[in-house]
Amino acid sequence: MAKQFGHSNIAVIGMEWGDEGKGKIIDFLAERADVVARFNGGNNAGHTIEAEGKKIVLHLIPSGVMRKNKLNIVGNGLVIDPKVLLDEIKFLEKNRIKISPENLVISENAHIILPHHIEEDKKIGGKIGTTARGIGPAYTDKAARIGLKAYELIDDAIFKKRFGSEEFYNEYRQYAENLKPYVNDASAIINYAIHNSKKVIFEGAQGTLLDIDHGTYPFVTSSSCIAGGVCTGLGISPKKVQSVLGVCKAYKTRVGLGPFPTEISGSTGEKIQKTGKEFGATTGRQRRVGWFDALIGKYAVMVNGVDSVALTKLDVFTTIDKLKICVAYKYKGNAIKNFTTNMRILQNCQPIYEEFDGWWDDIAKVRTYDALPNNAKKYLKRIEELLKVPISIISVGPKREQTIVARNEFLI
């Protein structure tokens, strides 16, 4: 039985434009869990884990996989590229991480990415800078009710009827054969686990501002990335989600196009980009970098019902002289204090900042809140005040052990 801390389950979601460090935080918390269940997205995601001397980037398989004896569930809310999933299984096995139906379940209701989805994404995705993995077109077919579900992929009669004359038929028959043992009724399995008091982590991909409904549309992905997506993406009741952990970076980043009010240009931006190694885990694209935006933070707390925050990458700020937090936007001469997804307004907002003194002590080896430099504590306190939620975890490096737990009662 996993160790007892606060809640019996927790949703871990991104509070910004993705890449907040969800993979790292979920792997850290997975020690306390029995099940890790991902609820949205596809291989547009890249979740990095550095532990046990390995660095692993996961695209589809949940971030509990580096821990022994955990059940990892790929929910119905995902779109799955079967080739990518099988390659990921092979990659993990090469890294001596054994994958079997004992530790991996794929929802029979997840939708399948097919070659034409990828082709189409390559053609039309450029306008918003998608990852070109076929994500948008696959969700489009799902909504249009012409998509292919995992149970249909592995049912030879159904698949033959729909795709028997396609060039890719034989290739996909082989994928289906290899994936068959994993495909199951994920919703029933997860509800059974919850009913039997198992500890569950619900893993989000992307982040609040990439959410199809609540993000910076049209510069978003095509799935529900917010905490509400847990219920639709896994088939569980909202009454069952006990707590929400929002993962956010000490500064902000964004890959792809779209407005970014606190974006930093010049040498400080470059320094953060370099120290933070801000390159996309999926496409390798350079991430745009910006100061902490409290309007985004408050917005993410609101739409997700964030109970506490895991703040990552605090170490990247070490040796930066002055730090800034955006506390309002200036729009047409007025100050706005609440974030907006109205692009016409957001594109024309200028940030209003508060300034903070930085610190020079290396914090990468700090393991308690008390041992952090005073200026780092001041910065964290101000974020807690502005967002009106506690910071439960502070991450001071990419490795599993570079993690400070400040408040256990908000976790599992």
The 10 Å Cβ neighbour count of residue 50 is 18
DSSP 162-209: HHTTSTTHHHHHHHHHHHGGGEE-HHHHHHHHHHTT--EEEEP-S-GG
Q: Would you say 48 or 107 has its CB closer to ligand GDP?
A: 48
Tell me, yes or no, if 47 is annotated catalytic.
Answer: yes
- CA 80 to CA 90: how far, in whole Å? 16
- Sign, CA dihedral 370-375-380-385, equals positive
Catalytic residue selected from 7, 19, 214, 315: 19
The residues that touch ligand IMO, with contacts defined as CB under 6 A, are 14, 17-19, 41, 44-47, 128-131, 133, 135-136, 205-207, 210, 221-222, 255-256, 281
Listed ranges 2-10, 149-157, 245-253, 273-281: which one lies at the site for Mg ion (CB under 5 A)? 273-281
Q: Would you say 81 or 315 has its CB closer to ligand GDP?
A: 315
Q: Would you say 7 or 24 has its CB closer to ligand GDP?
A: 24
Listed ranges 298-306, 312-320, 324-332, 346-354: which one lies at the site for ligand GDP (CB under 6 A)? 312-320
Interaction between residue 108 and ligand GDP (CB under 6 A) = no
Q: Would you say 188 or 364 has its CB closer to ligand GDP?
A: 364
* Binding residue (CB under 5 A) for Mg ion from 46, 75, 77, 137: 46
Residue 215: contacted member of ligand IMO, ligand GDP, Mg ion, none (CB under 5 to 8 Å, by partner type): none
* Binding residue (CB under 5 A) for Mg ion from 264, 281, 309, 376: 281
- CA 190 to CA 196: how far, in whole Å? 10
Q: Would you say 41 or 297 has its CB closer to ligand IMO?
A: 41
Residue 21: contacted member of ligand IMO, ligand GDP, Mg ion, none (CB under 5 to 8 Å, by partner type): ligand GDP
- CA 85 to CA 75: how far, in whole Å? 13
Q: What angle do CA 129, 216, 80 make, to 5 degrees?
A: 55
- CA 276 to CA 320: how far, in whole Å? 12
Residue 75: contacted member of Mg ion, ligand IMO, ligand GDP, none (CB under 5 to 8 Å, by partner type): none
* Binding residue (CB under 6 A) for ligand GDP from 397, 404, 406, 410: 397
Interaction between residue 204 and ligand GDP (CB under 6 A) = no
Residue 133: contacted member of Mg ion, ligand GDP, ligand IMO, none (CB under 5 to 8 Å, by partner type): ligand IMO
Cα-Cα-Cα-Cα torsion 175, 139, 253, 387, nearest 10 degrees, comes to: -120
- Provide CB contacts within 8 A for 337, sequence distance 6+: 295, 327, 328
Interaction between residue 38 and ligand GDP (CB under 6 A) = no
Closest CA to 250 of 313, 299, 307: 313
Tell me, yes or no, if 7 is annotated catalytic.
Answer: no
- CA 89 to CA 313: how far, in whole Å? 29
Residue 395: contacted member of Mg ion, ligand GDP, ligand IMO, none (CB under 5 to 8 Å, by partner type): ligand GDP
Q: Would you say 200 or 255 has its CB closer to ligand IMO?
A: 255
Q: Would you say 22 or 70 has its CB closer to ligand IMO?
A: 22
Three-class DSSP category at 384: helix
Q: Is 33 exposed, middle or buried (0-12, 13-18, 19+ CB in 10 A)?
A: buried
Shortest gap between Cβ of 102 and ligand GDP (angstroms)? 25
Interaction between residue 316 and ligand GDP (CB under 6 A) = yes
Q: Classify each residue of 252-276 as buried b or exposed e, where b means 16 or more C-beta atoms within 10 Å of its C-beta.
A: bbbbbebbbbbbbeeebbebbbeeb
State CA 221 to chain mean position distance: 12
Closest CA to 284 of 255, 308, 313: 255
* Binding residue (CB under 6 A) for ligand GDP from 22, 70, 214, 288: 22
Catalytic residue selected from 7, 34, 47, 307: 47
What residues are annotated to the active site? 19, 47
Residue ranges in contact with ligand GDP by CB under 6 A: 14, 18-24, 46-48, 50, 276, 281, 312-313, 315-316, 395-398
